[in-house]
Every structure is written in structure tokens, then in C-alpha cells.
């Protein structure tokens, strides 16, 4: 497309929009950049609070040699803060955009981190005076809370949002567009709230055939005018919504090449959906070659597999110690309220589609499925015993699976292993379901910390999107993040 075609006159129905380019004001941060900003500022503030406290009350000399000699103080605090903050989910962008929620969460994170930090010997400054401890607590709470209130009030304003223009090609993109616009406008917490993305409009060549009115997103013009519209509306990113690579019309292809030539960022809609939700949309997974082919055989992938297996063995051995203690308590409680076997074995589908017997604490009456058959378990299932209800709420019924981990049938982190009966149902409804069998199933997983207990095919579809995202993006950092996020799930009795 020539430069003359880019500057075509505005269509009559678009004449009222004008041609002036809006001024670009503010920091148009992506969701990832926002999380990095939150982490970096939090670390600076908590470490600055520690430095101020030890300087004022412990007489710490402000010099570079002194800081280097005592670097362990600040490294320990930084690691501890990141662990506690991850457990309490203070880097959730939806929560960070809600002033009330984030003040409570960040205050609790600061207090918990500070109390644990002050109780650690050698790696932390000596407790010379009580004033130092109180000063550290006061400085850190005030600094972090003030920063988070500023972020929630200022950095979610329109001037700081990343403005997005959607180029529409094909029909199946409608579902993602509806979800993106609907969730983005919801007042309650949702995956898009606070991410900083704002959809300013849509361009499409066949609006009468394609447009279904996704949440009131305005139709701005045809694809050939995407560059002009992007400049006019001060757009930061072009998002392409299409059925597959073959659905791109010649006009849209030329328009995107213009964007590429002029340096306008272009992203596929599924990539943006993944970035904002932590889910891989099922309808697009069949076109995602990185999911179908898997990671390249590289040193990094082999190293990750080795580290993951070593971590599995280490945590499973710790779990065996806990299991030995807990088994005595559960056995006693079962003897009083629900006599029967302590453990329960059930067929599940593992890596490569191979079946194996998963081990769990029995949480239902003996021989429960002889009466009900193979069915989804709901929240008020009468087959669940009183002890089993508590075990399921805390998810401690899954603890015996550390034995499966040691056998190599499971991992600590991965998609939950499903029963063959439901695998058949879900595979028929969602053929891409098989991709989750590319990794070992886990005791906990991305879907478990992000979504409620599944009790239907639709729940299975949503959880599959989380599982596919994990399969595609699994790394040691994500595994550690999932482990830390599992802590509040267990302590908060969020299981079923």
C-alpha cells in the first residue's frame, strides 16, 4: 500500500471524527510493565524503610562500604517480601486497582513480612532498641500503603491506559471480543480490571457480516484506514482478531504491513487474551503451533525438567513426613464419624494419556459411586463425610499423592489428573484437551489457584484454558508462583 492510500479522505460516516492526532499523555504501561513497576517500587520502599530505621535508631553509618558489608539485611528482606506478597496476591492488577482491597492486602503483607523479618537472627539487623522495630514497621506500612493508594487512584486513570484498536477479520473472534469488552467494563473484580488496556474502537472491512455489537465497541472504519485511525486516536497497539492465518484479507494484510513499516505494535487477539487473563483460549489453541509442537529441545528446557524433578522429590519427601502425622489424625476422626478405609485409589489419566491409580484420603462414604455412578461432585454432595468435607476444603485430601510424585506418575505442580470417563467427555467436546497430557499432572496447578472447583463441562472448558496456558508457558518461576499461591487456597479453605 502506498503512502497516498494511507492518506485517503475520511469516509463520510467518519468525517465527524476529524484528522487531528490526539496528544500522547502519560505512561501507557502494559500489564507486565505495571507488575514490574509495583514490585520494584515496593522493594525500594520496604528497603528504604529498613535503612531509615537502622540509621535513626541503630546508628547505622550511611556509606557504601557499610551497605555492601550488610547487604544480607536487604537481600533477606527483599526475598521475604516477594514471598509474602505473592502469597497474599498483592500483585494482582485487579486488586491493585481497588483502593480498599489493596490497602488491606498490602498492609497485611507489610506487617507479616516485618514481623517474620524481625524474628530472623544474623541475616537481619540486631534488635538494639524497640524504637527501631516500631520505626521499621511504621515507615514501611506508611510508605507502601501511600504508594499503593497513589497507584490505585492515579495510575488507572485514562491518561495512563494503553489504548488499543482492534482489527477484525473472521467470525470466531466474536467470543473473545465479547469477553474482552464485557469484562473490561464490569465494576466487579475481573481479569481485565486494572490491567491498563482500553479498547478505543474496531476496524473491519465487512461490518454487516461480522459485527455483532461486542459490548458497545464503536466501529471506526475499514481496515485500509487502520494507520490513520491509530494516529487519530493516539493508539498504542493494534490487536488483530481473526479466525486463523488464512482469514486475513489482502486489504487487512496491506494495512498491517503499513503498521509494521511505521513501527506501530501489532499483537494477535489470543496473545492479548493470554496476557490479561492467564488463559489460552480454546477456540484458538488449535492454531497455536507452540502449544502443539511444544518447547524446543534446548539446554534450558532440559535444565527446567531436571530442576522440576529434583524439586518434586524434595517437596514429596517433606510431604511424606506431614502425611505420616496427618494420617493418624484422619484415621482417628474417620473411626469416630465415618468408619472405613483411610485411603482411596482412583483411576486417572496421566502424561501421554496413560492411566494410573491416584492416592487420596477417603473423603466420601465407602463405595459412594456404586450408588451414584460416575458424576461430577458438587458443593453439597451428600456422599461427602464430615471429615472429608474439611479435607476437601483444605485440599489435604490430595496430600497422599506425594507417593504418586515419588513414583514419577505426577508432579507437585501441573494440571490436575482427570478421570478417564470425564476425559472422554471433555475430549469429545474440546479436542484440544489432549494437549494437557503433554506434561505430568500435578497435586496443585495454575487452574487450581485461579479458578473454582469444576463441576460441569463449561467449568472444564475454563480450567482447560488455564491448563493450556500452563502447558505452553511452564517454567520454574511459574511453578514457584503456583506453590506460593496454593498457600492461601489451603489456609482459606477454598477447596470443595
Q: What's the mean pLDDT in 297-315?
A: 92
Domain end: 96, 122, 154, which one?
Answer: 154
**What's the pLDDT band for 210 if we cut at 50, 70, 90?**
very low
Which residues contact residue 302 at a Cβ distance below 8 angstroms, ignoring those fewer than 6 apart? none
What confidence score (pLDDT) does residue 187 get? Answer: 37
496 within domain boundaries: no
Highest mean pLDDT: which range of 68-72, 164-168, 416-420: 68-72
What confidence score (pLDDT) does residue 24 get? Answer: 47
Q: pLDDT digit string (tens) for 324-382?
A: 999 999 888 888 877 888 888 989 999 988 999 999 988 877 765 665 555 555 556 66
What confidence score (pLDDT) does residue 150 get? Answer: 94
What confidence score (pLDDT) does residue 188 get? Answer: 38
What confidence score (pLDDT) does residue 426 get? Answer: 76
Cell numbers for 175: 467470543
193 within domain boundaries: yes
Closest C-alpha among 494, 396, 399, 381 to residue 448: 494
For residues 85 and 191, state if they share a domain: no
- Weakest mean pLDDT among 68-82, 171-185, 475-489: 171-185
For residues 254 and 114, state if they share a domain: no
For residues 374 and 227, state if they share a domain: no
What CA–CA distances, in Å, run from 246 to 173, 226, 278, 322, 464?
14, 20, 26, 54, 26
291 within domain boundaries: no
What confidence score (pLDDT) does residue 159 get? Answer: 76
452 within domain boundaries: yes
User: Does the pLDDT value for residue 101 go beyond 80?
Assistant: yes
For residue 492, count CB atoms less than 10 angstroms from its CB and return exposed for 0-12, middle for 13-18, buried for 19 or more: exposed
Distance CA 268, CA 242 (A): 8
What angle is formed at CA 204 by the lines to CA 200 and CA 207, rounded to 5 degrees?
110
Strand order in the sheet with 266-268: 219-221, 197-204, 162-169, 237-242, 266-268
What confidence score (pLDDT) does residue 37 get? Answer: 93
For residues 253 and 369, state if they share a domain: no
Residue for grid cell 492486602: 105
Distance CA 282, CA 68 (A): 50
Which residues are 221's β-sheet partners? 203
For residues 165 and 149, state if they share a domain: no
Residue pair 74/180 in contact by the 8 Å Cβ criterion: no
The size of the chain, in residues, is: 496
Q: State the helix-helix crossing angle for 130-154 and 99-118, rounded to 10 degrees.
A: 160
Note every long-range contact of 481-487, with CB atoms under 8 Å and residues 24 or more positions apart, other chains counting. 481/86, 482/413, 482/444, 482/445, 482/446, 482/449, 483/412, 483/413, 483/444, 484/83, 484/86, 484/87, 485/86, 485/87, 485/89, 485/449, 486/444, 486/448, 486/449, 487/87
Q: What's the mean pLDDT in 71-87?
A: 95
Residue pair 117/76 in contact by the 8 Å Cβ criterion: yes
Domain end: 154, 176, 200, which one?
Answer: 154
282 within domain boundaries: no
Q: What percent of the chain has pLDDT over 90?
A: 37
286 within domain boundaries: no
DSSP string, 217-271: PPEEE-GGGHHHHHHHTT-SEEEEEESSGGG--HHHHHHHHHHHHHT--EEEHHH
Q: Which residue has the higher pLDDT, 77 or 28?
A: 77
User: Does the pLDDT value for residue 277 go beyond 70?
Assistant: yes
**What's the pLDDT band for 17 if we cut at 50, 70, 90?**
very low
For residues 110 and 170, state if they share a domain: no
What confidence score (pLDDT) does residue 385 get? Answer: 81
For residues 321 and 373, state if they share a domain: yes
For residues 52 and 81, state if they share a domain: yes
Other Cβ atoms less than 10 A from the Cβ of 260: the count is 12
Q: Which helix (H) or strand (E) holds 213?
A: none
Which residues contact residue 236 at a Cβ distance below 8 angstroms, ignoring those fewer than 6 apart? 28, 162, 163, 164, 265
What confidence score (pLDDT) does residue 377 get? Answer: 59
Other Cβ atoms less than 10 A from the Cβ of 411: the count is 25
412 within domain boundaries: yes
Cell numbers for 308: 522440576
294 within domain boundaries: no
**What's the pLDDT band for 22 if we cut at 50, 70, 90?**
very low
Query: The domain that contains 8 carries what CATH number?
Result: 3.40.50.10700
User: Does the pLDDT value for residue 209 go beyond 60?
Assistant: no
Closest C-alpha among 122, 138, 120, 140 to residue 130: 138
What confidence score (pLDDT) does residue 292 get? Answer: 75
Q: What percent of the chain has pLDDT over 70?
A: 80
What confidence score (pLDDT) does residue 208 get? Answer: 46
Give, as one character, the DSSP assignment of residue 435: G
Which residues contact residue 52 at a Cβ distance below 8 angstroms, ignoring those fewer than 6 apart? 135, 139
Q: What's the mean pLDDT in 21-25?
A: 43
Cell numbers for 276: 490479561
What confidence score (pLDDT) does residue 212 get? Answer: 46
For residues 351 and 465, state if they share a domain: yes
| Torsion sign across C-alpha atoms 265, 178, 449, 155 | positive
- Weakest mean pLDDT among 135-144, 189-198, 434-443, 468-477: 189-198
Distance CA 271, CA 149 (A): 30
**What's the pLDDT band for 387 if we cut at 50, 70, 90?**
confident
For residues 474 and 363, state if they share a domain: yes
What confidence score (pLDDT) does residue 384 get? Answer: 80
**What's the pLDDT band for 174 if we cut at 50, 70, 90?**
low
Domain that holds residue 65: 31-154
What mean pLDDT is reported for the chain? 81
- Weakest mean pLDDT among 104-113, 199-208, 235-244, 340-349: 199-208
Distance CA 91, CA 108 (A): 14
What confidence score (pLDDT) does residue 425 get? Answer: 78
What confidence score (pLDDT) does residue 161 get? Answer: 80
What CA–CA distances, in Å, run from 301 to 271, 306, 414, 442, 476?
22, 9, 16, 18, 10
For residues 239 and 124, state if they share a domain: no
Closest C-alpha among 257, 273, 181 to residue 219: 181
pTM greater than 0.85 (yes/no): no
For residues 71 and 174, state if they share a domain: no
- Structural domain count, the chain: 3
Domain end: 113, 131, 154, which one?
Answer: 154
For residue 303, count CB atoms less than 10 angstroms from its CB and return exposed for 0-12, middle for 13-18, buried for 19 or more: exposed
**What's the pLDDT band for 225 if we cut at 50, 70, 90?**
confident
Q: pLDDT digit string (tens) for 395-436?
A: 888 999 999 999 999 999 999 998 888 788 777 877 788 888
Amino acid at each position: 500500500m502506498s503512502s497516498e492510500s494511507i492518506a485517503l479522505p475520511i469516509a463520510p460516516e467518519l468525517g465527524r471524527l476529524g484528522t487531528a492526532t490526539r496528544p500522547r499523555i502519560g505512561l501507557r504501561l502494559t500489564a507486565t510493565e505495571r507488575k514490574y513497576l509495583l514490585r520494584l517500587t515496593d522493594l525500594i520502599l520496604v528497603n528504604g524503610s529498613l535503612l531509615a530505621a537502622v540509621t535513626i535508631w541503630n546508628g547505622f553509618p550511611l556509606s557504601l562500604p557499610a551497605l555492601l558489608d550488610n547487604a544480607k539485611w536487604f537481600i533477606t528482606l527483599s526475598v521475604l517480601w516477594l514471598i509474602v506478597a505473592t502469597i497474599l496476591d498483592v500483585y494482582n492488577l485487579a486488586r491493585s486497582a481497588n483502593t480498599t482491597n489493596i490497602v488491606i492486602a498490602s498492609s497485611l503483607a507489610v506487617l507479616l513480612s516485618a514481623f517474620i523479618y524481625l524474628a530472623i537472627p544474623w541475616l537481619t539487623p540486631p534488635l538494639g532498641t524497640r524504637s527501631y522495630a516500631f520505626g521499621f514497621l511504621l515507615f514501611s506500612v506508611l510508605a507502601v500503603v501511600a504508594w499503593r493508594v497513589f497507584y490505585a487512584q492515579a495510575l488507572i486513570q485514562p491518561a495512563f491506559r494503553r489504548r488499543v484498536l482492534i482489527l477484525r477479520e473472521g467470525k470466531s473472534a466474536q467470543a473473545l471480543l465479547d469477553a474482552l469488552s464485557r469484562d473490561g467494563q464490569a465494576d466487579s473484580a475481573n481479569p481485565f480490571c486494572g490491567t491498563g488496556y482500553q479498547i478505543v474502537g474496531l476496524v473491519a472491512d465487512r461490518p454487516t457480516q461480522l459485527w455483532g455489537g461486542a459490548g458497545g465497541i464503536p466501529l471506526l472504519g475499514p481496515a485500509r484506514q487502520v494507520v490513520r485511525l491509530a494516529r487519530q486516536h493516539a493508539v498504542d497497539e493494534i490487536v488483530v482478531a481473526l479466525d486463523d492465518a488464512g482469514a486475513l484479507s489482502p486489504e487487512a494484510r496491506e494495512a498491517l504491513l503499513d503498521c509494521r513499516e511505521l513501527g506501530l505494535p501489532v499483537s494477535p487477539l489470543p496473545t492479548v487474551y493470554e496476557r490479561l487473563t492467564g488463559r489460552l483460549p480454546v477456540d484458538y489453541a488449535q492454531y497455536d503451533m507452540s502449544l502443539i509442537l511444544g518447547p524446543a529441545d534446548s539446554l534450558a528446557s532440559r535444565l527446567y525438567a531436571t530442576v522440576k524433578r529434583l524439586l518434586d522429590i524434595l517437596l514429596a519427601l517433606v510431604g511424606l513426613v506431614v502425611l505420616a502425622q496427618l494420617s493418624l489424625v484422619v484415621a482417628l476422626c474417620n473411626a469416630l464419624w465415618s468408619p472405613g478405609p483411610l485411603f482411596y485409589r482412583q483411576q486417572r489419566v496421566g502424561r501421554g494419556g496413560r492411566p494410573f491409580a491416584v492416592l487420596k484420603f477417603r473423603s466420601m462414604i465407602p463405595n459412594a459411586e456404586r450408588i451414584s455412578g460416575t458424576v461430577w461432585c458438587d458443593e453439597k454432595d451428600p456422599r461427602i463425610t464430615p471429615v472429608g468435607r474439611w479435607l476437601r476444603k483444605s485440599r489435604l485430601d490430595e496430600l497422599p499423592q506425594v507417593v504418586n510424585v515419588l513414583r514419577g506418575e505426577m508432579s507437585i505442580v501441573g494440571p490436575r489428573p482427570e478421570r478417564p470417563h470425564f476425559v472422554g467427555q471433555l475430549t469429545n467436546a474440546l479436542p484440544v484437551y489432549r494437549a494437557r497430557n503433554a506434561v505430568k499432572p500435578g497435586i496443585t496447578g495454575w487452574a487450581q489457584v485461579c479458578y473454582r472447583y469444576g463441576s460441569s463441562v463449561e467449568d472444564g472448558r475454563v480450567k482447560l484454558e488455564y491448563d493450556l496456558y500452563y502447558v505452553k508457558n511452564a517454567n520454574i518461576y511459574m511453578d514457584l508462583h503456583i506453590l506460593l499461591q496454593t498457600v492461601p487456597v489451603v489456609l482459606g479453605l477454598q477447596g470443595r
